[in-house]
Amino acid sequence: QRGVFRVNCIDCLDRTNVVQTAIARIVMETQFRKLGLLPPEEILPPSCRITYQQLWANNGDAISRQYAGTAALKGDFTRTGERKFAGMMKDGMNSANRYYLRFRDDYRQAAMDIILGQPVSQEILTSKVGELDVVDDTSELIEKEENVKMLIEDCKKMLIVEPEQCLGGWSLINADPQTGDPDRQEMDTILLLSQRAIYIAW
């Protein structure tokens, strides 16, 4: 294949972004070598690589939020180049949220059709407008809280071994521009405190 690469998976979100990130890195390294900015057989310097990974991870999250309502899966791998347990647990939480949000996709599709000038059934609009109220927001908030609690409990089981006791667990947002996303609104880091140590999973 020459010219433009076509990359897709079943929904063209998560795995697609991982593969496109890899292709873009190879192309960028090739361009840098031709410009004399990167010696042959050398990889990108850490500062450039971190900025590049952040850019693609943010790109994947933005597209995923528009299309699926959550951040992209496997975003921890795109952002850091490593796949960790907390990232897999967060992917499970995002998958559950996507499953829940799927029940409201008909209204979202109707909104897109209106923007594109396509005819939309009045029945869909009138039936769904009444459902978008505080109760829906409350149930979604409760579900997110339950998912965070489950994630904290799973991290406790994996990281803290008896007789060590967990004094507390919290979900946080990693705002460090080198390892996280300052604009992220969702929890992506778990902090556990025991008598012996502080554990951080992200």
10-residue stretch averages of pLDDT, the chain, 202 residues long? 81 86 91 92 88 89 82 82 80 76 71 81 64 57 78 83 85 70 69 86 75
Structural contact between residues 44 and 52, judged by C-beta atoms closer than 8 angstroms = yes
Q: What pTM did the predictor assign?
A: 0.52
Q: What is the pLDDT of residue 134?
A: 46
**CA 140 centroid distance within chain:** 18
- Give the torsion through C-alpha atoms of 183, 188, 193, 197, to 10 deg: -100
- Per-residue pLDDT at 136: 56
Report pLDDT for 191.
86
Predicted local confidence at residue 76, as pLDDT = 80
Burial readout 185-194 (b: 16 or more C-beta within 10 A, e: otherwise) = ebbbbbbbeb
Amino acid, res. 189: T
The side-by-side arrangement of strands in the sheet containing 166-172 is: 166-172, 189-194, 198-201
d(CA 56, CA 132): 33
